[in-house]
Chains A and B, each alone.
Chain A
């Protein structure tokens, strides 16, 4: 017999009946997308983890407080909460902090790299660190749509709704983001 995966909405409903395990499944399902999106935007692992945790606290408070009336996708709602927290973070005057090692590499890029040996890992770390710096050079609106589409896995329609622009504007920003990123990648000799 085929098994059907429970949808996010079904998990939310289950959680609202008191099943805490449903929240664990929702977290496991979306935490990498949310965290990667936040991390690319704030470029600091500790800050990204704080923001992700605060986002989940707000999600729990809203759900358990009986204030959840979202009709859209859970991930879209969660990303909207996370995005507002990222905006708050930068409104407080925070820039793009990084912690570097003696070689000048971002130490947080050493984590979660799948390559097997140390040499591969170092090459991947250097490439990823450069790539993060290039993404940072994109105009904010382009960087945001790139992150929301690629990491948070929101559709262009969902991004348009979230950022209150038309779908054509969201698509156009993505096009500029990719084209600008491609030029930067070529300029810095990163292999595609």
Chain B
């Protein structure tokens, strides 16, 4: 695997930012690149792990902001 270029292209692919035409080329390259495939798998796995850290704020924040907006007056 050409580490610098391919790893960055794999990251772009995982995050949906690789242009379509480059995606097809990447797939072709990965057919013969087990190291690249392993990297793709690990980046995707880290992405899944990171996704578990998504959190929501309390409803009070939304209510406070909406109240602030409803009563907002420019000083």
Contact = CB atoms under 8 A, between A and B. Distances in A.
Interface of A: 20, 23-24, 27-28, 31-32, 35-36, 39-40, 45, 48-49, 52-53, 56-57, 60-61, 64-65, 111-112, 124, 127-128, 131-132, 146, 149-151, 155-156, 171-172, 174-175, 178-179, 181-182, 185, 190, 192
26 contacts: A32-B54, A32-B57, A35-B55, A36-B53, A52-B57, A53-B64, A56-B65, A56-B68, A57-B68, A60-B65, A60-B69, A64-B69, A64-B72, A131-B49, A132-B53, A146-B50, A149-B15, A150-B51, A151-B54, A155-B17, A171-B8, A171-B12, A174-B8, A185-B49, A192-B42, A192-B45
Given A20-B70, A182-B42, A32 B55 contact: yes
A149 B40 CA distance: 17
B46 A182 contact: yes
Interface residues of B, number: 33
Nearest to B62: A27
B2 interface: no
Nearest to A33: B54
